[in-house]
């Protein structure tokens, strides 16, 4: 069951689709919701700091804190209208440290929510990747174009027989059992056409059905280089409302390397994506 959710609050967006999406999760699942906003202490090379007047650094820090407080106020106002259990946290840190701090915090929540990076406006790549690989918890990434809250009309679970996908399905069970329809989608490419018959999905479909998930098995063909496009085309053609998939890659000493499908999905997603690693 999902009992608590943490959301990374955005500073400079007129509308925060991830915040509104997280509130809708709390409403539907009757969960506690924590909003986190970072006030950033500016970082400069040592020689620059020596040349900067102290009041300039203080002013920049104050502006960041003002933006964080405003984000919290918007969060509190939106959550108050929904009458859900909420808290907020204002965290002061240097920018490079924020992803690890939030990933560590997310370990004490069932789910974390982020807005997709928006070119030229919001860069959440480090936040998302660090939470995916270091929190040990699932997350949902919400497209910056998202207008709706959580919709469970049709969930699409991307199955390739991997450990990451199995983990994602297990973590998503509280949502899968609420969904009207769940498509177990297999993209037939060089990887899934190998002799491993389990990747055909029959056993996984049976497993999900035992959890009272209304599942149906779907297979589509696509070349290896175009798996993400195949998934997104299927989702669009079938009115999918939430994608569930494993997050692929690894992290080492803060250098995060994403697998191709994960990276492309985070860049091109058109509906919210639930991921586990």
| Rounded-to-integer distance, Cα 5 and Cα 38, Å | 17
Rama region for 136: left / alpha / beta (φ>0; ψ in -120 to 50; rest): left
What is the distance, to the nearest Å, from the Cα of residue 158 to the centroid of all Cα atoms in its chain? 16
Residue 257: the pLDDT is 58
Nearest partner of 168 among 189, 182, 149, judged by Cα: 182
Are 217 and 205 spatial neighbours (Cβ–Cβ below 8 Å)? yes
Q: What is the dihedral of CA 133, 138, 143, 144, to 10 degrees?
A: -70
Are 116 and 144 spatial neighbours (Cβ–Cβ below 8 Å)? yes
Nearest partner of 247 among 142, 170, 107, 139, judged by Cα: 139
Residue 39: the pLDDT is 94
Residue 61: the pLDDT is 81
Handedness of CA 7, 24, 83, 12 (dihedral sign): positive
Q: What is the pLDDT of residues 111-154, one digit of tens each?
A: 999 999 999 889 999 999 999 999 999 999 999 999 999 999 99
Tell me how far apart the terminal alpha carbons of the chain are, to the nearest angstrom: 18
For the chain, state the CA radius of gyration: 20
Residue 217, helix vs strand vs coil: strand
Residue 250: the pLDDT is 59
Residue 51: the pLDDT is 63
Token pair for residue 191? 């990887």
**What HEC string does 17-86 produce?**
HHHHHHHHHHHHHCCEEEEEEEEEECCCCHHHHHHCCHHHHHHHHHHHHHHHHHHHHHHHHHHHHHCCCE
Average pLDDT of each block of 10 consecutive residues along the chain (277 residues)? 96 87 97 96 61 72 92 94 93 92 98 95 93 96 96 96 94 98 90 58 95 95 80 96 86 58 92 96
Residue 198: the pLDDT is 54
Residue 219: the pLDDT is 92
Instruction: Kindly state the helix (H) or strand (E) to which residue 129 belongs, with its residue range.
Output: helix 125-134
């Amino acid at each position: 069951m999902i009992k608590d959710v943490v959301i990374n609050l955005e500073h400079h967006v007129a509308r925060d689709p991830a915040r509104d999406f997280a509130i809708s999760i709390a409403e539907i699942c009757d969960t506690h919701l924590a909003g986190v906003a970072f006030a950033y202490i500016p970082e400069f090379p040592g020689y620059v700091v020596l040349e900067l007047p102290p009041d300039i650094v203080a002013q920049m820090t104050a502006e960041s804190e003002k933006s964080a407080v405003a984000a919290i106020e918007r969060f509190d106002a939106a959550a108050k209208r929904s009458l859900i259990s909420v808290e907020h946290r204002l965290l002061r840190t240097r920018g490079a440290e924020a992803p690890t701090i939030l990933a560590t915090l997310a370990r004490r929540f069932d789910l974390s929510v982020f807005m997709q990076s928006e070119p030229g406006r919001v860069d959440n790549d480090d936040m998302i990747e660090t939470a995916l690989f270091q929190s040990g918890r699932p997350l949902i990434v919400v497209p910056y174009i998202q207008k709706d809250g959580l919709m469970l009309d049709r969930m699409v679970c991307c199955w390739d027989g991997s450990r990451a996908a199995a983990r994602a399905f297990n973590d998503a069970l509280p949502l899968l059992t609420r969904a009207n329809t769940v498509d177990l989608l297999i993209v037939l490419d060089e990887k899934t056409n190998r002799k491993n018959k389990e990747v055909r999905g029959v056993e996984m479909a049976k497993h999900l059905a035992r959890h009272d998930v209304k599942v149906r098995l779907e297979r589509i063909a696509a070349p290896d280089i175009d798996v993400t496009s195949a998934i997104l085309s299927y989702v669009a053609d079938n009115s999918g409302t939430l994608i569930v998939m494993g997050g692929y890659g690894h992290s080492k000493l803060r250098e995060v390397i994403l697998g191709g499908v994960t990276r492309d999905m985070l860049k091109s997603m058109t509906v919210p994506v639930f991921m586990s690693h």
